[in-house]
Amino acid sequence: MGRVLIKRLLNAVPTLFGVSLVAFLMIRLIPGDPVLLMLGERGGSPELVTEMRHNLGLDLPLYSQYFQFMGRALRGDLGESIISKRPVWNEFADRFPATVELSAAALLWSVLLGIPMGVIAAVKRRRWPDHLLMSASLIGYSMPIFWWGLILIMFFSVRLGLTPVSGRISALYDVEPWTGFYLIDVWRRGLGFAGFWETLRHMFLPALVLGTIPVAAIARMTRSSLLEVLREDYVRTAKAKGLSFYRIVFVHALKNALLPVVTVIGLMLGTLLTGAVLTETLFSWPGVGRWLVASVQARDYPVLQGGVLLLSVMIVLVNIAVDIYYIYLNPRLRGAL
Amino acid sequence: MKSWGLVLLLLAGMHARAEKTLVYCSEASPSTFNPQMGEDGPTFNASSQMLYNRLVEFEDGGTKTVPGLAEKWDISKDGKTYTFHLRKNATFHTTETFKPTRPMNADDVLFSFNRALKKDHPYHKVNGGHFVFFTGMEMDTMIKDIQKVDDYTVKFVLNQPAAPFIANLAMSFAVVLSKEYADQLTKNKTPEKIDIEPVGTGPFVLKRYVKDNSIRYDANPTYWAGRAKLDKVVFAITPDPNVRFQKLKAGECNLIAEPAPQDLKGISGNTKLKLMSQPGANVGYLAMNVQKPPFNKLEVRQAIAYALNRDNYLNVVYQSTATSARNPIPPTVWANNPDTKDYDYNPEKAKELLKKAGFANGFDTEIWTLPVSRPYNPNGKKMGELMQADLAKVGIRVTLVTYDWPTYLSKARNGEHQMIQIGWTTDNGDPDNFMGTLLSCAAVQGGSNLARWCNKDYDKIITRAKTVSDMRERSSQYFKAQELFKAQAPWVTLAHATVFRGMTQNVEGYKISPLGTEDFYPIDMK
């Protein structure tokens, strides 16, 4: 186990270096510069522009800016945001719980819905439930998220008045961020069940939208994997033994069929953490995705390069964890641990 | 379970309603809570009017200056010395970490302005050291010295007379901070908190800021002008304009920032909502780069002014939410000259002028179209297409060009364009903020004069208008300047856009500022 872990971690090092370089260069290759953006239509004297560039270290050659960034990053210092002047670390930490909370909710419902959908489709292969569920998942997979979210807002929030339009909790509640997870923090402020319920209501639509693609992916993977397993010899043996069809599916086949689904879920977790950009913007969800979008617009170089690096570390770690869990789940690979 | 939750929610709601809370759906997070270092509207709105005061204020919903923390002021005969007499009853906020022991006085004024002015001030470098508006409005070159006469009298000595000085002091950046608080922070070795945990004299006290999510304020119980009628104000940060509109309809906010043009009908047609409007202090225009031929020729510029059907743009691009612009200065700002001779739509005259200039067969050129939606021009691309068609009729073949916003700005400032769509919303309501900032010879070098037009006679007039303090004299100078500008036609002035706000019916007493600032102090809720 330890050896696999160390190997994987070492493999991750070049990946992260690559990511840091790409993140560093990408934002600088887009035209525009943070100082001119700050000054806007108003502009400023050339001296002011030069001075501001100098104070931000933007007048150094690119390579030395990169080495400075990496040198500090290796010591755990990601620099300071140009806009807020606060450490990138703190800014990230303030927003990460919101993203995690939303991603977890989205993942939860996509697993709870996606796996049964896949199972039903596989069991009823080539019959109408299969066609219906697989068409639905194809639509879900290709849904333009922003449009989908707006449609849901107009229907659920404005037409029916069932869910709030956006935000994490009603503006009338004063929640003091403590863990950053509102489902926990509301109890601390004595807002109790009403606050908890409010938070859930606010999470409903964004989680639904964010989970749309994962549901589709999980359903499709479950279906194809289960179909493959159902063709295995041991399933035929089970049938020959006279076991009931449902026993074969749920007790024998599903367990094995879920192995690749675990990988998909792991990958989806990465997508959720980073892919919440549109959902967070639409639902005014104060998470990491929205923060990064705003930082692109403001050309806030330190935030973007630091934020992307942190998210990449996160995704790499999730992938390693999934790999190891996968090995652990698969008895044939367990020898490798 | 659901109904139980709803009951509790209702109870909580009732409790909050008894307490007059206004929820404002704002468009972006503030970058700081100190407007001295602010650069954008969302930052100013969340800090300046809410938490602080200025020596001089703009009247509610207007651009006229009225007393603020200074009850009155005298200007010396040579126009170089301004003496401010401070009010004695303004106290700073009491917060969890700070309790003031004295009212606001001259020390606070000196501390605040010297922080931005003097590079060796102990707080100058704290949190970045960039005072973009302070330098942008040339306060650093304007002010020579600030002196404390006594505890409640402060003297500003200027390098030369500068009439816009008073209007500058009313701008969002020119707030007064507490020196006593700064001293306490220095002692605790946490100076950076001065801009993060703000203490001001304003009508509201900052309660909590949850990043990208919400800002909560409580009414300042000891506000010198009387406690606000609202008990609480909450900014719900909602970046998408369509979502803001949906939230307003769903009753999740009482007032929204910058409604999108396509949502205006939806607001005015909804019985639970009301739409307010006010002519904005802005101008949208097409600047012609006179440093590039053929725009160095007066006839060519005039021909273009005659060739563009501006009334059509008002209908199509602004959807009749703007008025035609005759001058750079909008009618909401004093010194707007209503009698300037304007160019009517006359393609025949345009052709004649082009022939006279030696371009009987027209020429090829570029128009840069605005890449972002701004109040002064909501749809640059559409307007570009209309301009292209109009100019084609007189033989001018136009290619439309655009870049992303920061590139657009930086290339334009370098003078790389031929014709460019741009615009301006005034910062301080002073005519110089249009006529000088956008059209002076100095602004060619500074980059904000996008026509790159430098006319010595014009410059003389506006310099004089800036240095005399008699309003009537200033006004007559600007009248002259506008006529000269119009005859020389470095721009085609397009439109002054109307500013809109959507709110629920129970919001009362709100006034839209033509300067784009939000003031919640006068608001009451039924």
For residue A64, the distance in angstroms to the closest alpha carbon of chain B comes to 22
B382 and B238 fall within a common domain: no
B64 and B159 fall within a common domain: yes
Q: State yes or no: cis peptide before B161, omega within 30 of 0.
A: no
Residue A105 pLDDT greater than 60, yes or no: yes
- Which residue is closest to A31 within chain B, CA to CA? B407
Judge: B214–A31 Cβ closer than 8 Å, yes or no. Answer: no
Which residue, A222, A259, A17, is CA-closest to A120?
A: A222
For residue B243, the distance in angstroms to the closest alpha carbon of chain A comes to 7
Domains of chain A (ranges, CATH numbers) = 88-334 (1.10.3720.10)
Judge: A157–B246 Cβ closer than 8 Å, yes or no. Answer: yes
B268 and B306 fall within a common domain: no
pLDDT tens profile B93-149: 999 999 999 999 999 999 999 999 999 999 999 987 778 889 878 899 999 999 999
For residue B521, the distance in angstroms to the closest alpha carbon of chain A comes to 19
The answer to whether the beta carbons of residues B214 and B232 sit under 8 Å apart is no
Note the pLDDT of residue A275: 64
Chain A interface includes B12 (CB < 8 A): yes
Mean pLDDT of A68-72: 91
Note the pLDDT of residue A328: 82
Contact map slice: A 175-204 vs B, CB within 8 A: 175-177, 191-194, 197-198
Give me the residue from B39, B406, B413 closest to A32, CB to CB: B406
Which residue, B515, B338, B355, is CA-closest to B425?
A: B515
Chain B interface includes A32 (CB < 8 A): yes
Mean pLDDT of A156-172: 89
Judge: B211–A286 Cβ closer than 8 Å, yes or no. Answer: yes
Helix (H, G, I), strand (E, B) or coil at B448: coil
Chain A interface includes B372 (CB < 8 A): no
- Which residue is closest to A45 within chain B, CA to CA? B446
- Which residue is closest to A288 within chain B, CA to CA? B212
Note the pLDDT of residue A40: 67
B299 and B168 fall within a common domain: no
- Pull the structure tokens for residue B401: 């060009």
Note the pLDDT of residue B226: 96
Q: Measure the CA–CA gap between A31 and A44, rounded to whole angstroms.
A: 19
User: What's the CA angle centered on A143, arms A140 and A146, to 5 degrees?
Assistant: 130
Listed residues B165, B189, B213: the one ending a domain: B189
Listed residues B189, B211, B226: the one ending a domain: B189
- Among A93-107, A174-188, B286-300, which is the least confidently predicted range? A174-188
User: What's the CA angle centered on B138, arms B133 and B143, to 5 degrees?
Assistant: 115
Judge: B446–A43 Cβ closer than 8 Å, yes or no. Answer: yes
B132 and B183 fall within a common domain: yes
User: pTM of the predicted model, to two decimals?
Assistant: 0.85
Judge: B446–A164 Cβ closer than 8 Å, yes or no. Answer: no
Q: Measure the CA–CA gap between B329 and A327, rounded to whole angstroms.
A: 72
Chain B interface includes A33 (CB < 8 A): yes
Q: Measure the CA–CA gap between B87 and B105, rounded to whole angstroms.
A: 8
Note the pLDDT of residue A297: 80
B273 and B134 fall within a common domain: no
Helix (H, G, I), strand (E, B) or coil at B57: strand
Note the pLDDT of residue A336: 59
Residue A123 pLDDT greater than 70, yes or no: yes
For residue A190, the distance in angstroms to the closest alpha carbon of chain B comes to 12
Judge: B409–A52 Cβ closer than 8 Å, yes or no. Answer: no
B268 and B385 fall within a common domain: no
CATH number at residue B109: 3.90.76.10
Consecutive sets of 10 residues in chain B, 526 residues long: mean pLDDT of each?
Answer: 46 57 92 89 92 94 91 93 97 96 97 96 88 86 95 96 93 96 96 95 95 94 96 93 91 90 90 92 96 95 97 91 94 92 95 95 95 85 96 96 81 91 90 93 86 96 90 94 96 94 95 88 94
B122 and B211 fall within a common domain: no
CA distances from A253 to A108, A229, A249, A325 (A): 23, 6, 5, 19
B387 and B507 fall within a common domain: no
Query: Would you say residue B2 lies in a domain?
Result: no
Can you give the three-state secondary structure of chain A, one letter per residue?
A: CHHHHHHHHHHHHHHHHHHHHHHHHHHHHCCCCHHHHHHHHHCCCHHHHHHHHHHCCCCCCHHHHHHHHHHHHHCCCCCECCCCCCEHHHHHHHHHHHHHHHHHHHHHHHHHHHHHHHHHHHHCCCCHHHHHHHHHHHHHHCCCHHHHHHHHHHHHHHHCCCCCCCCCCCCCCCCCCCCCCHHHHHHHCCCHHHHHHHHHHHHHHHHHHHHHHHHHHHHHHHHHHHHHHHCCHHHHHHHHHCCCHHHHHHHHHHHHHHHHHHHHHHHHHHHHHHHCHHHHHHCCCCCHHHHHHHHHHCCCHHHHHHHHHHHHHHHHHHHHHHHHHHHHHCCCCHHHC
B180 and B236 fall within a common domain: no
Q: Domains in chain B: how many in total?
A: 3
Judge: A284–B31 Cβ closer than 8 Å, yes or no. Answer: no
Note the pLDDT of residue B15: 47
- When pLDDT is cut at 50, 70 and 90, the band that residue A1 belongs to is low
Chain A interface includes B446 (CB < 8 A): yes
Which residues of chain B neighbour A283 with C-beta distances below 8 Å? 243
For residue B152, the distance in angstroms to the closest alpha carbon of chain A comes to 34
B462 and B474 fall within a common domain: yes
Which residues of chain A neighbour B216 with C-beta distances below 8 Å? 174
Q: Measure the CA–CA gap between A43 and B268, rounded to whole angstroms.
A: 37
Which residues of chain A neighbour B27 with C-beta distances below 8 Å? none
Chain A interface includes B260 (CB < 8 A): no
Which residues of chain B neighbour A158 with C-beta distances below 8 Å? 246, 249-250
CATH number at residue B515: 3.40.190.10
Instruction: Give me the domain span that covers residue B409.
Output: 282-497
Note the pLDDT of residue B166: 94
Listed residues B189, B216, B232: the one ending a domain: B189
Chain A interface includes B39 (CB < 8 A): yes
B340 and B257 fall within a common domain: no
